[in-house]
């Protein structure tokens, strides 16, 4: 087994997502809620939510993907719902949602590459998660997320 190089946030994410994958029938919802809660917890009491999120999303995505890999979960479903949860949480705390979507997508793709996952499929799932979250938040946010991801 490869030695984990996760940060503290990545390790907490890994444990939380691992528990979500093992303990529930509705895995997508559990992953989304878990990652959203972790986003909110890691950026409490910071001045610039967007910068804080941009620094932490890769760590959160890495922990989630490593958990899926270890427990035999669907890493692509995990990628999609991790990005979705991060984008939704970013919106809820007042971060720039377009920047959050880009950072979450890039972080998930990087984490997937480190895990040896199919990058093309990981990219598709990460982008899908970001877009679906943007769509749910609202029309203007949806457009800004799509524009940011296209750029």
- Average pLDDT of the chain? 84
Q: What DSSP string runs through the chain? A: -PPP---HHHHHHHHHHHHHHHH-S-HHHHHHHHHHHHHHHHTTT-S-HHHHHHHHHHHHHHHHHHHHHHHT--HHHHHHHHHHHHHHHHHHHT--HHHHHHHHHHHHHHHHHHTT--HHHHHHHHHHHHHHHHHHH-HHHHHHHHHHHH-
Residue 46 reports pLDDT greater than 70 = no
- Predicted TM-score (pTM) of this structure: 0.83
- Per residue in 92-114, pLDDT (tens digit) is 888 889 999 999 999 999 989 98
Question: For the ranges 51-65, 87-101, 103-117, 122-136, which has the lowest average pLDDT?
Answer: 51-65
pLDDT over 70 at 57, yes or no:
yes
At 13-45, the pLDDT tens digits run 888 888 777 776 677 788 888 888 877 777 666
Share of residues in the chain with pLDDT > 90 (%): 37
Residue 73 reports pLDDT greater than 50: yes
What is residue 45's predicted lDDT score, i.e. its pLDDT? 60
């Amino acid at each position: 087994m490869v030695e984990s190089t996760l940060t503290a946030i990545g390790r907490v994410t890994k444990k939380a997502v691992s528990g979500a994958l093992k303990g529930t029938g509705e895995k997508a919802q559990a992953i989304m809620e878990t990652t959203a809660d972790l986003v909110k917890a890691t950026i409490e009491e910071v001045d610039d939510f967007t910068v804080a999120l941009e620094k932490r999303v890769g760590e959160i995505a890495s922990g989630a993907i490593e958990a899926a890999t270890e427990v035999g979960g669907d890493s692509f479903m995990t990628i999609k719902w991790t990005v979705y949860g991060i984008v939704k949480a970013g919106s809820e705390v007042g971060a720039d949602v377009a920047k959050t979507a880009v950072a979450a997508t890039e972080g998930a793709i990087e984490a997937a590459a480190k895990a040896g996952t199919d990058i093309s499929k990981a990219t598709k799932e990460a982008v899908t998660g970001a877009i679906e979250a943007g769509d749910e938040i609202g029309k203007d946010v949806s457009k800004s997320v799509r524009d940011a991801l296209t750029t």
